[in-house]
Amino acid sequence: MTSKAFAEMGVAELQRGLAAKEFSAREVAEGSLARISLADPKVHAFLEVTEELALKAADRVDAAVAAGNLASAGALAGVPAAFKDNMNLVGTRTTCSSQMLENYRSAYTATCVKRIIDAGGIPLGKLNMDEFAFGSSTETSAFGPTCNPWDAERVPGGSSGGSAAAVAAGLATVSLGSDTGGSIRQPGSFCGLVAVKPAYGVVSRYGVVAFGSSLDQVGPFTRSVEDAALALNAMAGHDPMDCTSQAVTTDFTANLAEGVSGMRLGVVPAFMEVEGLQPEVKAKVQEAIEQLRRLGAQIVEVDLPNAQAAMSAYYVLGPCEAFSNLARFDSVRYGYCDAGHGDLNGQYEASRAKGFGPEARRRIMLGSYLLSAGVYDTYYYPAQQVRTLITRDYQRAYEQVDCIVAPVSPRTAFRFGEVTDPTEMYLSDMFTISINIAGNGGMSMPVGLGADSKLPVGVQLVAPQFKDENMLRVAAALETVYGPAPVAPAFADGKVGN
């Protein structure tokens, strides 16, 4: 392919072409599927390609165009989309990149996926991830790692690494990921994308395999702020199948052109002095702050005194919830089964030992310990108290500012095998975890390449609870400076990673 790929186009460009009948939605689907066939072997973002579902969705869009009413097909009509493989979709396997669920077929469709398809999105397939979302590099997938399209020797981040890589390589216009402690924002930063974790409750979690039920949230990867806002519009809102979902009436595209003049943006000085923050990342974040000041924003220093405890609290709360959620994978009702051990206990033990990978077993064991008698009061209860303190810190900060600006990750994408110590890997999320604990919305906005690594760097924007439009407004202002996120050079202009 030498011409611009359909999946490299934004939502508006695709829909202009469809409305003008320059191409059909079926041509978009077929072209996108062909590009995946050629380019994905260089990236390994996809675990499953859904050709039949894509063509059926495209035909529905073409029928609307033929009737002279493209708008009736939905706000994402004709847009190539793909989904992290912890999101159920009837007709596909939902493996969570684990041998435990290698052959599990979706019995229903996740609400977030259904809403993207109902809005006219063309479902291209399911995307690689860290096993059960446990990881920050997509190296823990039972089906092999995903490569960063900017440098195939480096990780794309995680756990939504496949979702980030698919958009960065121009294999999808929109992808969905899930974020428990940074798993949308960190790969968004590593792959140079607009990556949004909405406030907890904005998007239904029904049909998404749970890691930490009080922390998980679904959000989009795109290459422009407007596309992210359109995807949020499609997904957001109350779902009777998820009691944590909220009624949302916000049009996330409404204030994107308003700029930041008059906004008060918070900066946390302690974040900028953290040990391990790479100089090139710090420099790009500071540059973005100065650009926002130049655009008319007032920069205000704020304090989050308990943020340093977020990592400790998260690695109590997260494993405890993971231990509870993964108890259902017992080899009896569904999941990998290693039979022939004489009794049910032997089958259960052998199946879980072989079905789960090392990081999943590590978190299950940690959660089991932390919830055991005599230990619960020492760790779990204090972690919940810290959660309350962190939430209050953010609430006080937002009495002074409209949005907070911070780093996403302390570093740019690292090489495969470079980070082998689990604790060091956990530190990839040092700036993102507190937002999940508090339930706020957060996003990564690409602000160019690091001076040394020449790899993407993202700045994190954090909004007050249920005011995600604030961070999107700030991101749109930064986009006027840095431009929309580009496709990685090896995949741009129709190239397939050569």
Active site residues: 84, 159, 183
Q: Using DSSP, state whether 348 is helix, strand or coil.
A: helix
SS3 content of the chain, % helix, strand, coil (to 5): 45, 15, 40
In the 3-class helix/strand/coil scheme, how is 81-138 assigned residue by residue? Answer: EEEECCECCCCCECCCCCHHHCCCECCCCCHHHHHHHHCCCEEEEEECCCHHHCCCCC
- Tell me the pairing of strands 441-449 and 194-197: antiparallel
Which amino acid is present at 12? A
Distance CA 78, CA 73 (A): 9
Distance CA 396, CA 38 (A): 51
Which amino acid is present at 150? W
Distance CA 190, CA 288 (A): 17
Which amino acid is present at 153? E
Burial 255-279 (b: 16+ CB within 10 A, else e): ebeebbeebebbbbeebeebeebbe
CA angle 273, 275, 281 (to 5 degrees): 70
Distance CA 309, CA 430 (A): 10
- Tell me the pairing of strands 298-301 and 217-222: unpaired
